[in-house]
């Protein structure tokens, strides 16, 4: 009986951590409201080379370049303050503001929650958990369905 309970708990926990937010839209979306644009799609992960940080003498993560060079950097937090996860997209927020929903063929649903120094114009960056997965995505051009907030 205890084994059964453990199994139920394990299944519930696994259900939580393995749920991939890219499989379903993050909010109700009207198909008619989507616009389709061909964008250049690259990929990133939380690592220092993707996100521009390094460890200082004390082993603390700091910005490795740019105006905040040397200042403390919170790893894994997006520019909008959310925790980066599968489905997090970095975009040029002058065109695609935070909260814009996108459907990227081969990736799934995502939400613009981040920005990047090199992400300007018709270009987006998809979050992956590992650098290897980001490398495997590489650079692709895709027809993206876009729902502005
Ligand atoms: Zn990386």
Model confidence pLDDT, tens digit, residues 31-42: 888 999 999 999
Q: Ligand 1: distance of its center to the CA of 128 in Å? A: 8
H/E run at residue 53: strand 53-55
Q: Is residue 6 part of a domain?
A: no
Q: How far apart are CA 136 and CA 48, in angstroms?
A: 18
Indicate the SS3 state at residue 90.
strand
- Is the pLDDT confidence value at 14 over 90? no
Separation of CA 26 and ligand 1 centre (Å): 25
Q: Specify the pTM.
A: 0.84
Quick: pLDDT tens for 21-64: 999 999 899 888 899 999 999 999 999 999 999 999 999 999 99
Question: Would you say residue 138 lies in a domain?
Answer: yes
Question: DSSP letters along 123-135, please?
Answer: EEEEE-SSHHHHH
Distance 6 CA to ligand 1 centre (A): 36
Per-residue pLDDT, 32 = 84
CATH at 110: 2.40.40.10
CA dist 35 and 16 (Å) reads: 32
Number of domains composing the chain: 1
- Report residue 132 as tokens: 């290897």
Q: Is residue 120 part of a domain?
A: yes
**Tens of pLDDT, residues 88-116:** 999 999 999 999 999 999 999 999 999 98
Residue 100 counted as domain residue: yes
3-state secondary structure of 23: coil
Structural domain boundaries enclosing 113: 21-46+80-147
Question: Is the residue at 67 inside a domain?
Answer: no
Return d(Cα 40, Cα 138) in angstroms, integer.
10
Mean pLDDT for the stretch of residues 127-138: 97
- Is 98 among the domain residues? yes
In a domain? residue 31: yes
Looking at the domain assignment, is residue 14 inside a domain? no
- Please give the C-alpha separations between residue 2 and each of 10, 13, 14, 124, in angstroms, as whole numbers: 12, 16, 18, 48
Question: From ligand 1's centre to the CA of 102, what distance in Å?
Answer: 22
């Amino acid at each position: 009986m205890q084994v059964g309970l453990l199994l139920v708990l394990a299944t519930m926990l696994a259900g939580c951590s393995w749920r991939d937010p890219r499989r379903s839209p993050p909010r109700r979306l009207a198909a008619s409201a989507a616009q389709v644009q061909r964008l250049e799609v690259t990929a990133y992960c939380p690592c220092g080379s993707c996100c521009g940080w390094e460890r200082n003498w004390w082993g603390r993560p700091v910005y490795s370049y740019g105006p905040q060079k040397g200042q403390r950097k919170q790893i894994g937090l997006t520019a909008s303050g959310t925790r980066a996860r599968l489905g997090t997209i970095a975009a040029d927020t002058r065109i695609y503001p935070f909260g814009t929903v996108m459907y990227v063929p081969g990736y799934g649903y995502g939400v613009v929650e981040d920005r990047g120094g090199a992400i300007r114009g018709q270009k987006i960056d998809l979050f992956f958990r590992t650098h290897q997965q980001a490398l495997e995505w590489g650079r692709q051009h895709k027809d993206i369905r876009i729902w502005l907030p």
